């Protein structure tokens, strides 16, 4: 199997970028310095003037990078554990796309919305399926605040969107709500604790989909010619 480019979805820029690429990282550092730490940490800001997204994309465009999709055959789906210098541990899902333009492995944190949306669609994907993966983000308003809605578009060779099985989001939300209610029954009402617990349960739900169904399906599968 040929070497593949490792990529991740950068939530501020709202696009796929190479991992550990010094030129890319320098462009992102310049963008971060332009808008400041607080604006950068706010995440995806769409076309908002002075936001991190416009700054990031402007710097990335100077080195020839724009938001793009990946077209190829999905040949493997694996889990990988990683960590950082602060001792934090992360569970990644890594999806390999075998493409004529060069193979790509997309690495996503299992606890991210992008990974969870893609995981659900992978429930209906067989090894070797020809797809086009186009991740993107859009700003949405909820209760007077702006949030980023991360979308994992996955289309088959026929150009039609590959849909996830029904009710998976509802099942994940039910697990999260049950965990929240259990804490509230113990008089734990701190929003930070409750939100973290709910996010953890949603990540656990999707991790189980990967461990029990998706990864075994791809492990050792014979690829179509």
pLDDT tens profile 195-208: 999 999 999 999 99
Judgement on whether residues 159 and 79 belong to the same structural domain of the protein? yes
Question: Which residue, of 37, 62, 87, is where some domain finishes?
Answer: 62
Residues 77 and 103 in one domain: yes
**Six token digits for residue 81:** 């554990």
CA distance 22 to 70: 22
Q: Is there a single domain that holds both residue 19 and residue 78? A: no
d(CA 127, CA 73): 8
Measured distance CA(84)–CA(115) in Å, rounded: 19
- Counting other chains too, the contacts that 180-186 makes at CB distance below 8 Å and 24 or more residues apart are none
Q: Where among 62, 84, 110 does a domain terminate?
A: 62
Listed in sequence order, the residues at least 6 apart from 155 whose beta carbon sits closer than 8 Å to its beta carbon are 131, 132, 134, 161, 162
- Asked if the structure places residue 49 within a domain, the reply is yes
Would you place residue 27 in the very low, low, confident or very high pLDDT band (cuts 50, 70, 90)?
A: very high
Rounded Cα distance, 107 and 91, in Å: 10
Instruction: Specify whether 91 is located in the same domain as 136.
Output: yes
The domain tally of the chain equals: 2
Of all residues in the chain, what percent are helix, strand and coil, respectively (each to 5)? 40, 30, 30
Q: 67: closest CA among 90, 47, 92?
A: 47
Tens digit of each residue's pLDDT (9 = 90 or more) over 107-139: 999 999 999 999 999 999 999 999 999 999 998
Tell me the whole-structure pTM to 2 decimals: 0.90
Residues 54 and 80 in one domain: no
CA 113 – CA 138 distance, rounded (Å): 13
pLDDT band at 142 (very low <50, low <70, confident <90, very high): confident
Q: Is residue 143 part of a domain?
A: yes
Whether 224 maps to a domain, the answer reads no
Query: What pLDDT, on the 0 to 100 scale, is given for residue 223?
Result: 58
Clarify whether residues 58 and 85 are in a common domain.
no
Domain that holds residue 16: 5-62
Q: Tell whether 58 and 74 lie within a shared domain.
A: no
Burial of residue 12 (number of CB atoms within 10 Å: 0-12, 13-18, 19+): buried
Considering the domain architecture, whether residues 32 and 83 belong to the same structural domain is answered as no
**E strands present in the chain:** 5-10, 15-18, 70-83, 89-98, 104-109, 130-142, 145-156
Q: Are residues 45 and 88 in the same domain?
A: no
Same domain (yes/no): 118, 213: yes
pLDDT value of position 146: 76
Sorting pLDDT into bands at 50, 70 and 90, what band is 166? very high
């Amino acid at each position: 199997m040929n070497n593949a480019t490792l990529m991740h979805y950068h939530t501020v820029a709202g696009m796929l970028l190479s991992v550990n690429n010094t030129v890319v990282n320098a462009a992102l550092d310049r963008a971060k310095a332009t808008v400041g730490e607080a604006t950068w940490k706010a995440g995806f800001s769409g076309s908002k003037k002075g936001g991190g997204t416009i700054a990031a994309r402007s710097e990335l465009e100077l080195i020839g990078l724009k938001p793009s999709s990946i077209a190829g055959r999905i040949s493997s789906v694996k889990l990988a554990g990683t960590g950082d210098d602060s001792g934090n541990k992360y569970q990644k899902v890594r999806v390999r796309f075998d493409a004529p333009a060069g193979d790509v492995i997309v690495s996503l944190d299992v606890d991210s919305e992008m990974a969870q949306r893609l995981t659900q669609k992978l429930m209906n994907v067989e090894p070797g399926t020809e797809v086009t993966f186009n991740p993107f983000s859009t700003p949405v308003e909820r209760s007077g605040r702006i949030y980023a809605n991360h979308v994992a578009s996955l289309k088959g060779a026929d150009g039609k969107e590959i849909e996830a099985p029904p009710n998976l989001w509802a099942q994940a939300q039910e697990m999260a709500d049950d965990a929240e209610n259990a804490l509230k029954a113990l008089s734990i009402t701190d929003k930070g604790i409750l939100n973290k617990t709910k996010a953890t349960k949603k990540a656990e739900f999707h991790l189980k989909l990967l461990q029990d169904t998706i990864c075994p399906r791809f492990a050792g599968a014979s690829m179509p010619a």
